[in-house]
Structure 1
Amino acid sequence: MEFEIAQSTPTAASIAMLVQSHYNLGEVIESEFLRRSFNQVYRLRFASGRQVVARLCAERPRGGPNASFEAAALEHWAALGCRVARCLPAADGEVAIHAMLPEGRRALMLFEYLDGEATGDSAEDIEALAHGLAALHAAGQSLQGTGSIYRLDLDYLLMKPLQGLLRAPTMTAELRTQFADLGQRLHDGILALGELAQVLCHGDAHGSNNFVVPGPGGKREAVFFDFDEIGPGYLAYELAVYPWSLYPRAPDVPPSDKVTTQWRHFVSAYREARPVADVDLAAIARFMAVRQFWLLGEYAGRIPVWGSQAIPTDYLRRQVGMLRAWETLELPL
């Protein structure tokens, strides 16, 4: 019989051969498989000494990669002085090439290689992240041309992930009702807040998709990469991703003083660089819950690759408790 493949994992050596044949960058002398998450990521070194990052894009619950828009946005940001890892075009000028794999055709994109460390706990690092994010948002306002195939709205971030989650084989009838009610209340509550600011979002700025490096005069600066979640969307969502990454994932565990201090450093530094309206500040806590629904939907969509026990039933029960607690969460300013 012929097996159906959910997702294969090419070796680093095979990715190196593919890149060498489609890019005018010379011979690849070193290759390394870095990470498998939603996509597969590789590091390549050429005979010239240049290093690049290759991202083999996976099909997601949303659909395929936002490749053309991502590449155009990165060029725009870089031209305006924002520090980002740009997309490198193939020999034919395209922003992506395609690998034929057992599961079908998958896009592969090459990006500039960055070196450094993810955002640390210090006030200087957190300030660099916030100021860098504010710079991306300010510069993104003038982007024109290629349209994004995704918009980070409530349908994309909440309602579609919720529907995928409700179909998970580990979901019980009781939990299905609870998640559906939580998601609808969250949706309606955000709409009731009124009009919220929109920006060009990184989409995944939790502090580990950037490095913090010394800038001019020794001041710490953020350099950003991994824009797979890019798209126009809510400012409040973009700002919610960082505290979402910090806050405890249990309903009965309050945030530590350290977490509260980090969040305050972040929001204060962002507002120093770029104003945030009161309604958007008020929405950030709600969008932390939206972010969690988005993540759960992504996990549900990866069940063919990761298995159903990526979201077991007992884990889903704990999620309900946490999301209920987050319904009344208020972030200190």
Structure 2
Amino acid sequence: MRTLYSMPAADDVARLVNDAYDIGEVTACNLLNRGFNDTYELGTEAGRRFVLRIANRRTRNEANLDYETAFLAYLDECKVPVAAPVTARDGRHWCLGSFAEGPRPVALFHFLPGRTARHGSAPDAYAQGRTLAEVHRAGQSYAGPASRFQLDFQHLAARPLAALLALRTLETAHRDFFAALVPRLGERLDAAKGTLAWGHCHGDCHGFNARITESGSLGRAAAFFDFDDGGPGWLGYDLAVYLWNKALNPATLNLWPPFLEGYRSVLPLASNDLDATLLFVPIRHIWLLGEYAAHASIWGLDHLSTAWLDRQVAFLRNWEEQHLLTRLF
């Protein structure tokens, strides 16, 4: 019987890290979360802390760790607050682990101190906007390994749409809606993309891939982790991921202005790129739905119930009707 996905025992994960990395004896290994990847917190005998990420299969079908870890190491050298990768014994920033379903990429990162962003905290939003701008500014001079993919329309919408339409349980009304919406979004993007800024993106700056500290030189700082979905792309998309997350909970949309203020404290933001965030919100949502659809064989179809998809369609329809022709802020 073939295995699609396996969950390793924590002591085996610790043994893998001890074999691959020279960080001292791992004495604690705890699963933090399962999702697009499996993430573990590790502690050593000397009291050092790390985070290990074991990659799962993704719709893009390729690990992008040469780029991701090199970009993170570069950002760390530039003093941008990020979770820097740990160099393995063989000199690389990642390795392959052997699992029941086959090899899976494994990467170890330095642990970030701090807390998660507080609900409704404008200073936390400002700090995250500032750090995202620091990522974009430093990225202008990055010259390391190239990404295996770009955050273009094919990656963000066309491929996710294919994953959605491949669901045998997708109702006709949902199928017709998605099949019509994505080309409309593509037409709008085609009309605008020639004027949009392009650069190296975090890819998943939704507000919770950060740790907030109070003792930095700036008073409050945000350090970023989880660049797994990053790559070269439209900077407006990278900004829009934060807006998208807040739009899903409209009571938190008041965090968008301070996030933008923090960004602008480091980099200017052209009006075309700001306007494009409204278009990138539904594109981001299609990307997420496609990731869920692609994981149906592992996570199950309960994550894609008709009632749940009804809510996603309602969000997308309402956003298109209300926000794509006018600026939100």
Fold similarity call, TM over 0.5: yes
TM range (shorter): over 0.9
Contact between 1:41 and 1:56, CA under 8 Å: does it hold in 2?
yes
Q: What is aligned with 1:80?
A: 78
Letter in 2 for 1:110: L
Q: Does 1:283 align with 2:279?
A: no
Unaligned ranges ≥5, structure 2: none
Out of 306, 325, 332, the position equivalent to 2:328 is: 332
Residue 59 in structure 1 maps to residue 57 in structure 2: yes
Instruction: Spell out the pairing of 1:57-136 with structure 2 (5 A cutoff).
Output: 57-120=55-118, 121-136=120-135
Counterpart of 1:220?
220
How big is the shift at 1:266? 1.2
**Which residue matches 2:146?**
147
d(CA) in 2 for partners of 1:243 and 1:219?
Answer: 24
- After TM superposition, give the deviation of residue 174 of structure 1 in Å: 2.9
Match of 2:26 in 1: 28
Distance 1:217 1:276 in 2: 24
Q: Secondary structure at the match of 2:13?
A: helix
Q: What RMSD over aligned residues (CA atoms) do the two structures have, in Å?
A: 1.4
2:305 to 294, 300, 312: 312
For 1:166, the equivalent position in structure 2 comes to 165
Q: Give the Cα–Cα distance (whole angstroms) in 2 for the partners of residues 43 and 194 of structure 1.
A: 40
- Name the residue aligned to 1:302: 295
1:126 and 1:266 in contact (8 A); partners too: yes
Structure 1, unaligned stretches of length 5 or more? 250-254
Report the alpha carbon displacement of residue 65 of structure 1 after superposing the two structures with TM.
2.0
Asked if structure 2 preserves the Cα contact closer than 8 Å seen for 1:186 and 1:327, the reply is: no
Aligned match of 1:268: 261
For 2:241, what is the secondary structure of its paired residue? Answer: helix
Q: Any conservation in 2 of the 1:236–1:281 contact (CA below 8 Å)?
A: yes
| 1:6-21 equivalence runs, <5 A | 6-21=4-19
Distance in 1 (alpha carbons) for counterparts of 2:183 and 2:112: 41
**Structure 1 counterpart SS, 2:23:** coil
Task: Give secondary structure in 1 for the equivalent of 2:265.
Answer: helix
CA contact (8 A) 1:289 1:323 kept: yes
Letter in 1 for 2:117: T
The 1:54–1:217 alpha-carbon spacing in structure 2 relative to 1, beyond 3 Å, is closer
Q: Is this contact kept in 2: 1:90–1:96, CA < 8 A? A: yes
Partner Cα separation in structure 2 for residue 137 and residue 239 of structure 1: 10
CA distance in 2, matches of 1:25, 1:168: 44
User: One-letter code of the match for 1:166?
Assistant: L
Alpha-carbon shift at residue 218 of structure 1 (Å): 6.2
Q: CA deviation at 1:236?
A: 1.1
Q: Which amino acid aligns with 2:279?
A: R
Q: Does the 8 Å CA contact 1:88/1:112 hold for their aligned counterparts?
A: yes
Aligned length: 324
Q: Give 1:200's aligned amino acid.
A: H
1:260 to 1:51, Cα distance in 2 relative to 1, 3 A:
closer
- Cα-to-partner distance string for 1:32-90 (whole Å, 9 max, x where unaligned): 11110100001111112111111001110111321110111011111111011111121
Q: Which amino acid aligns with 2:163?
A: G
Please give the alpha-carbon distance, in whole angstroms, between the structure 2 residues aligned to 1:216 and 1:32: 28
In 1, the alpha carbon distance for the partners of 2:5 and 2:240 equals 31
Greater Cα offset, 203-212 or 193-202: 193-202
Counterpart secondary structure, 2:39: strand
Q: AA paired with 1:235? A: L
SS of the counterpart of 1:276? Answer: coil
CA gap of 1:331–1:6, structure 2 versus 1, over 3 A, is: farther
Residue 211 of structure 2 is aligned to residue 211 of structure 1: yes
Is the CA contact (8 Å cut-off) linking 1:264 and 1:332 kept in structure 2? no
Q: What's the secondary structure of 2:262's corresponding residue?
A: helix
- TM-superposed CA distance for 1:194, in Å, is 4.0
2:197 alignment counterpart? 197
Off by >4 Å, runs of 4+ in structure 1: none
**Alignment-mate amino acid for residue 269 of structure 1:** G
For the 8 Å contact 2:71–2:144, the answer to whether it is kept is no
**Cα separation, partners in 2 of 1:331 and 1:246, compared to 1, 3 Å:** farther
The 8 Å contact of residues 300 and 311 in structure 1, kept in 2 or not, is answered as yes
Whole-angstrom CA distance in 1 between matches of 2:135 and 2:298: 33
Match of 1:230 in 2: 230
